[in-house]
Structure 1
Amino acid sequence: MSPQPPTRLRGAAPSTSDAAGQLRVRRTLAAVAVTLALASSLLGATRDESSAAGPSPRATGTSTSAPAPAGSPTSSTGQGSPTPISSANGQASPSPSAVPDHGDGRVSPVLVPGGDSTVEGKEVTYALEVEGGLGIDEKDVATTVGSVLRDARGWQAQDHVRFVQVTPRQRAAGTVPKIVISLVSPAKVDQLCAPLETGGLWSCANKDRAVLNYRRWVDATPSYGGKVAPYRIYQVNHEVGHELGHAHASCPAKGSPAPVMLQQSMGLGGCLPNNLPTVTRG
């Protein structure tokens, strides 16, 4: 009969070789834990960046953004926004305003006046909706949005597209627009932009929706000197730009017009405010 190795009695001290082996195992496990922690940290940083939109808001959106959405590894490609994008990038936030944080939570379709564009290009359908309980002048909003989309200096000329409205009646009958432009309260923005963090301050592009923050619509941002009319044009063009597949841009040179896809709500980086896509071709 071959000899059997001795059995260690319960409670007996481990041999030197056993102790060394256990020490090696503990060191290996500790190294694995550190590696996993670092990997998790890097992944988290990547998600945060895309907030800028956010995103990735897409965002991002309009430079109306907080931790991003957005966004900005917010790059989106092709028609529509597969990834949310916001404009958050950790920069200073605008001052608080009198705009309420919440509306009534219900969005309603609004008819945009004026005919559809007659330019040649790929058809992109859209619809407008606003949240109730905020006292929004729907007619004024609809007129502004229609004017921005049909502007000869806008995305139609830049991307060779043609915006065609899906009316409230058509939506009720089941027609689904390519882009829904939603003007809503800060709280509703946070909901529609999730999982991106807009912090009640920013706008974003998420899935097939360009989400406009009513707080920014009313107050604009310091980068626009609080001038709401030009800022609203930028706000619409920036988020719709994400829905058309455009990612965030940077200031090309100090003193030059800012690309409309620059997160201008967060700052201009040395550029001058610009709310039109064709001025800088991007």
Structure 2
Amino acid sequence: MLTRRQLIAGAGAGGAALLTTGCGPVRPPLRTFTYSVATKGAIRTSLDEFIRNAGATLSARQGWALGGSVAYRRVPSGGDFTLWLCEARLVPSFSSVCSSLYSCRVGRDVVINQDRWISGTSTWPLGLDEYRHYVVNHEVGHWLGLSHWASPGPGRLCPVMFQQSKGITDGSLYNTWPLADERRAVASRFGVPIWP
């Protein structure tokens, strides 16, 4: 096992750059998904910030990284999926099911609506940074094979796969990260454990 210091120094297998939080030995991931980043239309926000934020979301242990058993590695082109930062009016160009008001996932294209990236939605109460984590988690969750989940009811955290961008009206609580059941569904689908 490699230590955190060795990983930061780039001592990963095959020179792979691996990131971790915390201290002590780190297990290599059991499954790695690759993704590229692309833009469509006139981009008026920092692409570097988008790349950093999305990368942090994808590598977060409490998210779809499943405690580190899954890794997401950005590649220059291609990859398992493409993460798009897209001008709002062009989001529907990916599919007629997509709207210029929201983000969307179509096949291997995970499309983040630039307007939502810049300002979130009027109903989102947790701040822009949390919205950005939420929208990446939600759309990548679709790419991972999850559909929309139902609201759990008053006083309970909403699944990240609930359409929270459109607002919550039943007293459920806004939530940025996948719930345990959502993480279990992805772990089962890809045959990997959820590490603590």
Task: Give me the TM-score of the superposition, normalised by structure 2.
Answer: 0.73
Q: Which residue of 2 aligns with 1:97?
A: none
- What is the one-letter code of the residue matched to 1:271? S
> How far 1:163 sits from its partner (Å)?
1.2
Q: Which residue of 2 aligns with 1:23?
A: none
Q: Tell whether 2:29 aligns with 1:120.
A: yes
Q: Which residue of 1 aligns with 2:23?
A: none
How many percent of aligned residue pairs carry the same amino acid? 29
Q: Which residue of 2 aligns with 1:244?
A: 144
> 1:161, 1:121 → 2: CA distance?
6
Question: Which structure: greater strand fraction?
Answer: 2
Q: Is the 8 A contact 1:116 1:163 kept in 2?
A: no
> 1:245, 1:210 → 2: CA distance?
12
Q: Which residue of 2 aligns with 1:179?
A: 81
Larger relative contact order (C-alpha < 8 A, sep ≥ 6)? 1
Q: Tell whether 2:96 aligns with 1:195.
A: yes
Report which of the two structures shows the higher radius of gyration computed on alpha carbons.
1
2:121 to 215, 221, 228: 221
> 1:145, 1:188 → 2: CA distance?
20
Unaligned 5+ segments in structure 1 are 1-113
> How far 1:156 sits from its partner (Å)?
1.3
- What is the one-letter code of the residue matched to 1:142? I
* Deviations, residues 118-169 of structure 1 (Å, cap 9, x unaligned): 6422221111122353322111111101100110101010794221221x2x
Q: Is the 8 A contact 2:40 2:87 kept in 1?
A: yes
2:156 to 247, 250, 256: 256
Query: Is the partner of 1:187 in helix, strand or coil?
Result: helix
1:274 to 161, 169, 175: 175
Q: Is the 8 A contact 1:129 1:181 kept in 2?
A: yes
Unaligned 5+ segments in structure 2 are 1-15, 20-26, 183-196
* Deviations, residues 41-61 of structure 1 (Å, cap 9, x unaligned): xxxxxxxxxxxxxxxxxxxxx
Q: CA RMSD in A?
A: 2.2
May I ask how many residue pairs the two structures share in their alignment? 159
> 2:126, 2:41 → 1: CA distance?
24
- What is the one-letter code of the residue matched to 1:157? L
- What is the one-letter code of the residue matched to 1:164? R
